[in-house]
Structure 1
């Protein structure tokens, strides 16, 4: 059975994995099923790693947790930069928690094409939601992946569902006219729009408008 401890990428060790004791894949899977808040970011970082051995361990973990997934309602939220995605997600997340749900948020941030870095600042815009015990927010970089989501977004949803979250909110990067990859991995696709932004022809060109199940 595979074991792994700390995980690093580009010479930087991720905080959730610093000096972590080695765990087998099954031990990590069991911890996620229990809703262990320390195990979850550790496993997600494993999914996001580009190291070959980490990818192998990640695939083993996904196979172990696949039977525990598929029970959550997945919501994709997209829109142009500055439209208010983070604000809407916090309001929606708090409402859902008040209704008795456990809410996880995957907030995808763009990566610099020059440095490869990301700010990952969306969590700071959802301060109330981030502190709630029935919520979990995970910022993730696109790392060059196109379509508005991160490379490991779909895989991360499997982990969150196995951890017991019954509503998964996926916030895409600020998008333009054709970044609709998230629509293929959610049950409900929400497009946030700005009032009086462009003419009718501009609206017709927006491929995003043909995909959402809801407009805000």
Structure 2
């Protein structure tokens, strides 16, 4: 009787299957992309050889892409900003992949992974792909496989890849090393938080967006002045 292979994601059984999977990813098949990302997100040591093998098959120079990082404090409107940006990009003929990172519970390591539910219009767009993930095992705002996930989405033909952090914008700057452009979302009533941000991610931000400005335009203008005074 053939021994069953364990500790492997469904549908990925050996290196020959990895080659088939890589080819399907390069053809832009969504199911294949999701399966490849599941393998790359695995934390099992037994999956390491296959992760490296798959990446070597996918890490082939492709057309130029744009990697955009969206960061900011929790509740700053990152998901709303990403959906608006993603819909604009996708509607203009680009293929956009959103790699969202949700916080993992300290005790269980579990995560709700609700970003896709907050971006339903973008999730249903034919030129868009949204993949939530957890930052379990890390104390910062990114999951530990973000670079591998970016490469995989680019191999699948997505020329714009948006990476969202869990909302640790004041302290986390790891996103700057993974993307080409960093966008910081901040609330109009951030107040003294702007000063704290100046010592953190704002030093790396290429664009600062004051969200929900229509709720308090005076506070939004003050935030803009504080940002411009950095």
Relative to the length of structure 1, the TM-score reads: 0.87
Q: Which runs of 5+ in 1 are unaligned?
A: 9-16
Q: Distance in 2 between matches of 1:100 and 1:122?
A: 23
Which of structure 1's runs of 4+ aligned residues deviate more than 6 A?
A: none
Match of 2:34 among 32, 41, 49: 41
Q: Distance in 2 between matches of 1:97 and 1:76?
A: 17
Q: Give the structure 2 partner of residue 56 of structure 1.
A: 49
Q: Distance in 1 between matches of 2:91 and 2:36?
A: 28
Q: Cα distance 1:57–1:132, how it changes in 2: closer, same or farther (>3 A)?
A: same
Q: Give the structure 1 partner of residue 219 of structure 2.
A: none
Match of 1:148 among 141, 150, 155: 141
Q: Give the structure 2 partner of residue 134 of structure 1.
A: 127
Q: Give the structure 1 partner of residue 185 of structure 2.
A: 192
Q: Distance in 2 between matches of 1:55 and 1:70?
A: 28
1:32 counterpart SS class: helix
| 1:201 Cα offset (Å) | 7.6
| 1:144 Cα offset (Å) | 2.4
Q: Distance in 1 between matches of 2:112 and 2:193?
A: 34
2:68 counterpart SS class: strand
* Deviates further, 92-101 or 194-203: 194-203
Q: Give the structure 2 partner of residue 99 of structure 1.
A: 92
Contact 1:5–1:21, Cα closer than 8 Å, also in 2: no
| 1:62 Cα offset (Å) | 0.6
| 1:199 Cα offset (Å) | 2.6
Equivalences, count: 203
| 1:177 Cα offset (Å) | 2.0
- Superposition CA RMSD, Å: 2.0
Q: Distance in 2 between matches of 1:201 and 1:123?
A: 29
